[in-house]
Amino acid sequence: MIKEPEVLKIVKEDILEVLGRKSKKIPLKLMKLEISVSQFFVSKAINELEREDLIKLSLEEKYGKQYIQLTKRGQNRAKDIIKKHLILEEYFKKRMSGKKAIKATNILEHYISTEVVDVIKKLSTFKKKGIPLTRFKKEEGLITNINFSIGLFERLISMGIYPGGKIRIINRVPNGVIIKIKNKKFVLDKDIAKEIKVLEYKNPTL
Amino acid sequence: MKNLKILLIGQPNVGKSSLLNALVGPRVTVSNYPGTTVEITKAKKKINNTEIEFVDTPGIYSISDRSEEEKVTEKALFEENEDGAITIVDATSLERSFYMILQILEARVPTVLALNFAEDAEKKGIKINCKKLEKLLGVPVVLINPITKTGIDKLVDAILKIKKATRQGFEVEYNDHIEGAINKISSQIKKTFIPKRFIALRVLEGDEDFYKYLKDEKVIRDAKKSLKDHSKVAEDISITRYGTASFIAEKVTQIIPVEKEKKFEEKVDQILLHKTWGPFTTILFLLVVFGALLYLGNSIQGILMGLTESFLSSFGTAEHSIIAMVLIQGLTGLAAGVSIALPYVFLFYLLLGLLEDIGLLSRFIVNAERFLKKIGLPGKSFIPLALGFGCTAPATRATRVLSSKKEQFHTASLFAFVPCSSRIAIIMGVVGFYGGIKLAFSVFVTLLIAGLIWAFGIKKVIHVKSEPLLLELPPFRKPLVKNVLAKSWIRMRDFVYIVMPLLVIGGIAYGILDILGLVNIIVEPLSPITTWLGLPAVIIIPLVFGFLQKDLTGAMLLSVLGSKISLTLTSLQIYTFGVASTIGIPCIIALGILIKEFGVKKAITLTASSIIYGLLFAGLAWRIISIF
């Protein structure tokens, strides 16, 4: 169940995205058709966007219609949103069929935090899929892939070991690897570690 | 008076046991501990006009059916008929905790969120906005600290209102194809109180325990088939759920950069988990534990022995009626339990509990796994094996932490070579006392060699594929004495309630057989065994009756040979006796627990073959040694 402020956030991002893609002003009526939620939310979102100085509304006397367009600030924001969308789409296309990927992207782009997007961006810019954790020699890395059947996959993800996660290798023991991810330390068997693909990743803030 | 049944759910090391302590008070402490028990425990507490029953569940990371802990918790959630749950959340890793909370909300279990370790999180620069979290998830959130008892009253208030709490909170939305599948399965579900959406999700995630809620066989077959065709569905569900969890976590947390915390802990881990220093420190620690144990155990044992002996001798002058003699044997059994095993076993479990709560035990598991793996055992078997040095009976029950019956049986079979307190008493008290410490040491070495040969052999026979090591290493913490004591008591419980009464029964049985003159009957027919062992024929009596009551083996040896053992037996014979009496499933009590866990056939096969193996090994060992 999504609460109201979230709906509003999603609608606002969608409006910016539509405007960014069309890169020109469009009639307000058309916009309301493009965004398939209740008019109440669209109007509210437009009000907020205008207040935040991201869009501006103008009345074209000639057609007697209200138009909507991006401000300078709005253009930058829209660019970011589109970029985020593209990154996600690319990421999901690799994992599912085209139509589903687009659908997943549409849902997820509003939900995924900037950190996650940042990580996915890194993931998709790397062409190769990463090397097994057992062969990984650096101290910090990014999990690009976990090759497991459902059982272990869910176990790992519920423990907080997930694709896109930043990991730090603390220690190597003959039977496995000791890693730290999000403040938690784990020991992974060699058999598990070799199915976890990792890329070098250095976060300056880490 | 109202009744409430509340489940306690949380990850391992999240502070569940401390919370239960804080909620119920130390007098009713019952709890479970990661790696040792996988049972649910219950504790009641009357608050205002309501009796709240708390049901503690094993620590898990997600609602699933893949490990024994998960199965037990899942069963508790859906078969205990609870009014609600307290979900304990680790503030230092929110998104991970939220994964399970999202599942609990999907199952529409009314829940109160107890946020633990908020101070730790703040030290790490993580600030959590509880109000926002409450709003977002639609469940009450209470900040707690079980150690200082902060927030416990608030938590109780929230629990008392839990019946009024809404069953619906935040719901994860999945991709259309998953939502489509959920809808399809939802329409094929039997009438039950569990939300259809949740059942559908569990089925899609491959949880076989949930097939039973599907309408009929055909639906189950269809579900299985479509799961095979879309093997990525479960993965997608996990990813979306985790993504949502991290989204929520990010929404409610504010990261304030802090100065890098000191790396002391990591330095310690560098040593404890070093490829050579790790096993070395592990062995060193264990040796210190055993040293302390033998020292402390001996002094406490001395005091208790004095007390029980004077108590028993007060009976000695009483009339020697048959009943009195039988009773005296029973009391002797009890006395042996109280004075020999009790201090030793309790101290051992206390020290083990301390190591566990400090966080050292999981490091030891990592080091031990390297060697356990070679004999076909999973790393987790370290804890039951270690408990075996206390008493075989509770240790056998502790094998339940292992994920398959085969692994459990494999581990249990090694208890034939892990000397329990009573067998250590034989080795130290008989072999060490009459033959010297070197001889006692060589018995230990022989046990180790016999055990390794057995383990390699059985690895070939049973062929177990053990689970790969995947373990969270908890941060080092100052142990809570109250918790450690409670934990030692739980591990002791089996010993006190099962082993002690059986010691009395064993003693009485021996008394009756003795009076009837049946004891000596076995000497003649079993003489081939003593001949093989190169021992006097009467020694069969302590060997056989030791199985009724291991603690009396030494005393029986004295009674058949007289006190001048070192004159009657050569050191090689003392050694042989030590080996023959300590290899094998030790006693009838251990056999009883084995039957309970693995069934009559397997238990008897294991017991008989391990004892025969022990006798063969002892006979071979002295022959080989006497060559030199």
Q: How far, in Å, CA of B70 to CA of B47, rounded? A: 30
Distance, in angstroms, between B442 CA and closest chain A CA?
30
Q: Which residues of B touch A175 (CB under 8 A)?
A: 366, 369-370, 373, 469
Query: Which segment of A115-119, B474-478, B583-587 scores lowest on mean pLDDT?
Result: A115-119
pLDDT value of position A123: 52
Q: What are the tens digits of pLDDT across the range B419-452? A: 998 898 889 888 988 888 899 999 999 999 999 9
Instruction: Choose from A149, A175, A181 for mutation: most chain B CBs within 10 A.
Output: A175
Indicate yes or no: CB of A185 within 8 angstroms of CB of B369: no
Indicate yes or no: CB of A189 within 8 angstroms of CB of B366: no
Question: Residue B104: pLDDT band by 50, 70, 90 thresholds?
Answer: very high
More reliable by pLDDT, A96 or A163:
A163
- Burial of residue B122 (number of CB atoms within 10 Å: 0-12, 13-18, 19+): middle
Distance, in angstroms, between A118 CA and closest chain B CA?
14
Indicate yes or no: CB of A189 within 8 angstroms of CB of B92: no
pLDDT value of position B615: 94
Q: Residue B113: pLDDT above 90? A: yes
Q: How far, in Å, CA of B2 to CA of B50, rounded? A: 5
Cα of first residue to Cα of last residue in chain B, in angstroms, is 78
Which chain B residue is nearest to residue A153, measuring alpha carbons?
Answer: B235
Query: Which segment of B218-227, B261-270, B317-326, B489-498 scores lowest on mean pLDDT?
Result: B317-326
Q: Which residues of A touch B242 (CB under 8 A)?
A: 157-158, 162
Distance, in angstroms, between B245 CA and closest chain A CA?
10
Cα within 13 Å of Cα(B510), Cβ side: 28
Instruction: Choose from B126, B210, B235, B251 for mutation: most chain A CBs within 10 A.
Output: B235
Q: How far, in Å, CA of B618 to CA of B610, rounded? A: 12
**Mean pLDDT value of segment A104-113:** 58
pLDDT value of position B85: 92
Instruction: Choose from B96, B209, B272 for mutation: most chain A CBs within 10 A.
Output: B96
Q: Which residues of B touch A145 (CB under 8 A)?
A: none
pLDDT value of position B573: 92
- If DSSP codes are grouped into helix, strand and coil, which group holds residue B335? helix
Indicate yes or no: CB of A157 within 8 angstroms of CB of B238: yes
Q: What are the tens digits of pLDDT across the range B49-91? A: 888 988 888 888 888 877 778 888 888 888 878 889 999 999 9
**Mean pLDDT value of segment A65-78:** 83
Q: Residue A22: pLDDT above 90? A: no
Pairs across A and B, CB distance < 8 A: 147
Picking from B578, B589, B581, B569, the residue whose alpha carbon sits closest to that of residue B611 is B581
Indicate yes or no: CB of B96 within 8 angstroms of CB of A175: no
pLDDT value of position B167: 65
Picking from B55, B97, B74, the residue whose alpha carbon sits closest to that of residue B472 is B97
> Which helix (H) or strand (E) covers residue B367, if one does?
helix B360-374
Question: Residue A109: pLDDT band by 50, 70, 90 thresholds?
Answer: low
Indicate yes or no: CB of B470 within 8 angstroms of CB of A192: yes
Asked whether A111 and A91 are in contact (CB, 8 A), the reply is no
Q: Residue A172: pLDDT above 50? A: yes
Q: How far, in Å, CA of B201 to CA of A108, rounded? A: 19
Question: Residue B35: pLDDT band by 50, 70, 90 thresholds?
Answer: very low
Which residues have C-beta within 8 Å of that of residue A38, sequence separation ≥ 6? none
Q: What are the tens digits of pLDDT across the range B376-425? A: 888 888 988 988 988 888 889 888 878 788 889 999 999 999 999 889 88
Which chain A residue is nearest to residue B364, measuring alpha carbons?
Answer: A187
Compute CA A90 distance to the chain's CA centroid, rounded to the nearest angstrom: 11
pLDDT value of position A115: 55
Instruction: Choose from B13, B65, B469 for mutation: most chain A CBs within 10 A.
Output: B469
Query: Which segment of A160-169, B308-317, B391-400 scores lowest on mean pLDDT?
Result: B308-317
Q: What percent of chain A has pLDDT over 70?
A: 65
Q: Which residues of B touch A191 (CB under 8 A)?
A: 468
**Mean pLDDT value of segment B45-52:** 86
Q: How far, in Å, CA of A43 to CA of A40, rounded? A: 5
Q: What percent of chain B has pLDDT over 70?
A: 94
Indicate yes or no: CB of A154 within 8 angstroms of CB of B471: no
Q: Residue A135: pLDDT above 70? A: yes
Q: Residue A9: pLDDT above 70? A: yes
More reliable by pLDDT, A108 or B59:
B59
Q: How far, in Å, CA of A43 to CA of B126, rounded? A: 36
Question: Residue B605: pLDDT band by 50, 70, 90 thresholds?
Answer: very high
pLDDT value of position B454: 93
Facing residue for A175 by CB, picked from B173, B231, B369: B369
**Mean pLDDT value of segment B162-176:** 74
Query: Which segment of A160-164, B226-230, B598-602 scores lowest on mean pLDDT?
Result: B226-230
pLDDT value of position A36: 63
Indicate yes or no: CB of A188 within 8 angstroms of CB of B469: yes
Indicate yes or no: CB of A159 within 8 angstroms of CB of B95: no
Q: How far, in Å, CA of B421 to CA of B330, rounded? A: 20
B566: left (phi over 0), alpha (psi -120 to 50) or beta: alpha
Q: Which residues of B touch A158 (CB under 8 A)?
A: 61-62, 64, 96, 99-100, 238, 242
Facing residue for A100 by CB, picked from B62, B177, B274: B177
Q: Residue B40: pLDDT above 80? A: no
Mean of the per-residue pLDDT values for chain B? Answer: 84
Facing residue for A150 by CB, picked from B92, B235, B370: B235
- Burial of residue A197 (number of CB atoms within 10 Å: 0-12, 13-18, 19+): buried
Q: Residue B33: pLDDT above 50? A: no
Q: Residue B313: pLDDT above 90? A: no
- If DSSP codes are grouped into helix, strand and coil, which group holds residue A188? strand
Q: Which residues of B touch A2 (CB under 8 A)?
A: 173
Which chain A residue is nearest to residue B476, measuring alpha carbons?
Answer: A185
Picking from B452, B444, B312, the residue whose alpha carbon sits closest to that of residue B372 is B452
Indicate yes or no: CB of B366 within 8 angstroms of CB of A178: yes
Q: How far, in Å, CA of B445 to CA of B465, rounded? A: 28
Q: How far, in Å, CA of B70 to CA of B58, rounded? A: 7
Q: Residue B360: pLDDT above 60? A: yes
Indicate yes or no: CB of B238 within 8 angstroms of CB of A116: no
> Which helix (H) or strand (E) covers residue B406, if one does?
helix B405-413
Sheet with A26-27: list strands edge to edge. A26-27, A65-70, A55-60
Indicate yes or no: CB of A187 within 8 angstroms of CB of B470: yes
Q: Which residues of B touch A163 (CB under 8 A)?
A: 239
Asked whether B67 and B18 are in contact (CB, 8 A), the reply is no
Indicate yes or no: CB of A155 within 8 angstroms of CB of B66: yes
Instruction: Choose from A95, A118, A119, A171 for mutation: most chain B CBs within 10 A.
Output: A171
CA distances from B300 to A113, B317, B339 (A): 60, 27, 8
Mean of the per-residue pLDDT values for chain A? Answer: 74
Q: How far, in Å, CA of B461 to CA of B458, rounded? A: 5
Q: What is the CA radius of gyration of chain B?
A: 28
Indicate yes or no: CB of B95 within 8 angstroms of CB of A3: no
More reliable by pLDDT, B406 or A88:
B406
Q: Which residues of A touch B244 (CB under 8 A)?
A: 111
Which of A141-150, B102-111, B395-404 has the largest mean confidence?
A: B102-111
Indicate yes or no: CB of A158 within 8 angstroms of CB of B64: yes
Query: Which segment of B111-125, B206-220, B596-610 scores lowest on mean pLDDT?
Result: B206-220
Q: Which two tokens stand for residue A25?
A: 């002003």
Q: Which residues of B touch A167 (CB under 8 A)?
A: none
Instruction: Choose from A185, A188, A194 for mutation: most chain B CBs within 10 A.
Output: A185
Q: Which residues of B touch A143 (CB under 8 A)?
A: none
Q: Which two tokens stand for residue A71?
A: 């401000």
Instruction: Choose from A2, A153, A159 for mutation: most chain B CBs within 10 A.
Output: A159
Facing residue for B471 by CB, picked from A104, A156, A186: A186
Q: Residue B32: pLDDT above 60? A: no
Indicate yes or no: CB of B64 within 8 angstroms of CB of A155: yes
Q: Which residues of B touch A115 (CB under 8 A)?
A: 250
Which chain A residue is nearest to residue B468, measuring alpha carbons?
Answer: A189
pLDDT value of position A41: 74
Q: Which residues of A touch B472 (CB under 8 A)?
A: 159, 184-186
Q: Residue B262: pLDDT above 70? A: no
Q: Which residues of A touch B270 (CB under 8 A)?
A: 170-171
Facing residue for A192 by CB, picked from B232, B274, B468: B468
Which chain B residue is nearest to residue A107, measuring alpha carbons?
Answer: B175
Identify the DSSP state of B258. -
Q: Residue A1: pLDDT above 50? A: no
Q: What is the CA radius of gyration of chain A?
A: 22
Q: Residue A80: pLDDT above 70? A: yes
Distance, in angstroms, between B210 CA and closest chain A CA?
15
Which chain A residue is nearest to residue B252, measuring alpha carbons?
Answer: A113
Q: How far, in Å, CA of B537 to CA of B525, rounded? A: 10
More reliable by pLDDT, A26 or B160:
B160
